[in-house]
Amino acid sequence: MLTKGIDVRASRTHNVGLFATEPIPIGTAIWNPCVKCSRWSKEEVAALPEARFAALDIYGHLLSDGSLLLPCLGAYLMNHSCEANVLDTGLDFGVAVRDIAAGEEVTCDYATFTEDGGWSMECRCHSPRCRHLITTEQGGDLMIRSRWRGQVESALRHAAEVDQPLHDVLVELSEPYRRVLKGMTSLEQVSTGASVCAPAFASP
Ligand SMILES: [Zn+2]
Ligand SMILES: [Zn+2]
- Three-class secondary structure assignment of the chain: CECCCEEEEECCCCCEEEEECCCECCCCEEECCCCCCEEECHHHHHHCCHHHHHHHHHHCEECCCCCEEECCCCHHHCEECCCCCEECCCCCCEEECCCECCCCEEEECHHHCCCCCCCEEECCCCCCCCCCEEEHHHHHCHHHHHHHHHHHHHHHHHHCCCCCCCHHHHHHHCHHHHHHHCCCCCHHHHCCCCECCECCCCCC
Asked whether residue 58 is domain-assigned, the answer is yes
Asked whether residue 17 is domain-assigned, the answer is yes
Asked whether residue 200 is domain-assigned, the answer is no
Closest ligand to C-alpha of residue 196 is 1
Do 100 and 168 lie in a common domain? yes
Sign of the alpha-carbon dihedral angle for 10, 166, 101, 70: negative
Q: How far is the CA of 182 from the centre of ligand 1 (A)?
A: 24
Do 10 and 105 lie in a common domain? yes
C-alpha span between 25 and 158 (Å, rounded): 9
- Contact between 96 and 27 under an 8 Å Cβ cutoff? The reply is yes
Asked whether residue 88 is domain-assigned, the answer is yes
Do 115 and 63 lie in a common domain? no
> How confident is the prediction along the chain (204 residues), in pLDDT tens digits per residue?
999 999 999 987 778 999 999 999 999 999 999 999 999 999 999 999 999 988 898 889 899 999 999 999 999 999 999 999 999 999 999 999 999 999 999 999 999 988 888 889 999 898 999 999 999 999 999 999 999 999 999 999 999 999 999 999 999 999 999 999 999 999 999 999 999 999 988 865
Asked whether residue 152 is domain-assigned, the answer is yes
Q: What is the pTM of this model?
A: 0.94
Do 162 and 129 lie in a common domain? yes
Do 129 and 66 lie in a common domain? no
Q: How far is the CA of 34 from the centre of ligand 1 (A)?
A: 4
Q: How far is the CA of 49 from the centre of ligand 2 (A)?
A: 31
Q: Which amino acid is at 100?
A: I
Q: How far is the CA of 22 from the centre of ligand 2 (A)?
A: 25
Residue 115: the pLDDT is 85
Q: Which domain holds residue 61?
A: 38-71
Do 81 and 128 lie in a common domain? yes
Asked whether residue 103 is domain-assigned, the answer is yes
Do 84 and 64 lie in a common domain? no
Asked whether residue 202 is domain-assigned, the answer is no
Phi–psi pair at 151, nearest 5 degrees: -65, -45
Residue 11: the pLDDT is 83
Residue 201: the pLDDT is 82
- Contact between 69 and 38 under an 8 Å Cβ cutoff? The reply is yes
Residue 22: the pLDDT is 98
Asked whether residue 195 is domain-assigned, the answer is no
Do 109 and 178 lie in a common domain? yes
| CATH for 28 | 2.170.270.10
Closest ligand to C-alpha of residue 166 is 1
Do 49 and 83 lie in a common domain? no
Do 82 and 153 lie in a common domain? yes
The tally of domains found in the chain comes to 2
Closest ligand to C-alpha of residue 32 is 1
Do 42 and 10 lie in a common domain? no
Do 88 and 179 lie in a common domain? yes
